[in-house]
Copies of this chain bind each other. A is one copy, B any other.
Amino acid sequence: MARAAGVSQASVSLVLGGKWRGRVSARTAETVREAAQQLGYRPNLAARSLRTGSARTAMLVVPALTGDFFAQVHAGAARVAGEHDFGVVLYPSPEGIGRAPDPFDSARAALDGVIASSMAAEALSSLQDGGLPLVMLDSEPSDPMASAVVNPDIADGMRRVAAHLLDLGHRRVAHLAADVPSWTFRLRARALHEALGNFPGAELVATRGAALSVQDGQRAADELLALRPVPTAVVCDDDVLAAGVCKAARRAGLSVPGDLSVTGFDDLPLATALEPELTTVRLPAQEVGAAGMRALLAVLDGQRPATTTLPVALAPRASTGPAPH
């Protein structure tokens, strides 16, 4: 490339790196850019990374590719990364939120840092070996492994769900919990218990756990709907689970929301694909990703960013209605 332009390697690097002002003449800079254009020249990333010791790349670890949530998180992170000439590499953990085998082997880009969303804390231990800065999303804020944490306000979301149902007159509420040992679901359970516990006359009549699938949700819902008296509302940790409850209700001959109110969480596309549409909690997924990337850049910059909490919103829709008497 340098020979093609008839200039030194240094000039090429300076010009293409945008650091030429005051070090290379405008004329030379122009020559370089033309030649680069001509040749379709792309700097070798491996060489640059070896020389600078940085790959300008972050890895985003997510438990699953399914669902819109992580897609949004990635979109947000990628946007911010792009603004800082950074790249984002996605690593879907093969084990779900469980232990990530070895991201460094599988997505082997040279990395400057890791952003992990909604993973179980223990799952990230292999990441620690890398000695890379770790930003956690939707995760335990006091985790000592994390250089920074960015969370949607999960507890507030669940409180809003509870308030919404209490407003509608529901007093016998069941909880369909995600059987997943992560911070986000533990918090959802706790916030619901507290909100209901603090309201005189309201009762959390039962809790069932289920894996994050419609089928498991449906199976657990069957048990909940067999209770007597039947709860008037089922709060689900997740929209997928709520879909299972809706199926179970229909098969049990219960109408939603006439006989039973159902709430989801996350506002996945699924929430509006169902009929009736799900009342759920919308998480600012894009913003979570973007804030996570910003936090990582700050850490890389030597700063010590604080924990960030992002507001969530209740999306009241057709799956909730007044409690039957």
Contact = CB atoms under 8 A, between A and B. Distances in A.
Contact of A90 (B49, B90, B273): B90
Interface in A57-105: 57, 64-68, 70-71, 74-75, 78, 81-82, 87-90, 92, 94, 104-105
Given A46-B50, A57-B108, 10 more contacts: A45-B110, A46-B55, A55-B109, A57-B109, A78-B92, A81-B106, A214-B269, A247-B273, A251-B275, A273-B274
B94 A106 contact: no
Contact of A71 (B65, B81, B214, B215): B65
Given A47-B50, A273-B274, A71 B92 contact: yes
Contacts of A110: 44-46, 109
B67 A272 contact: no
A80 B56 CA distance: 27
B87 A272 contact: no
A176 interface: no
A206 interface: no
Given A47-B50, A247-B275, A273-B273, A94 B108 contact: no
Interface residues of A, number: 54
Given A71-B65, A273-B240, A109 B90 contact: no
A107 interface: yes
A131 to B, nearest CB: 8
Interface in A87-139: 87-90, 92, 94, 104-110, 129-130
A261 B168 CA distance: 36
Interface string A38-51: 00101011110110
A23 interface: no
Interface in A250-298: 250-251, 269-270, 272-275
A158 interface: no
A166 interface: no
Contacts of A31: none
A286 to B, nearest CB: 12
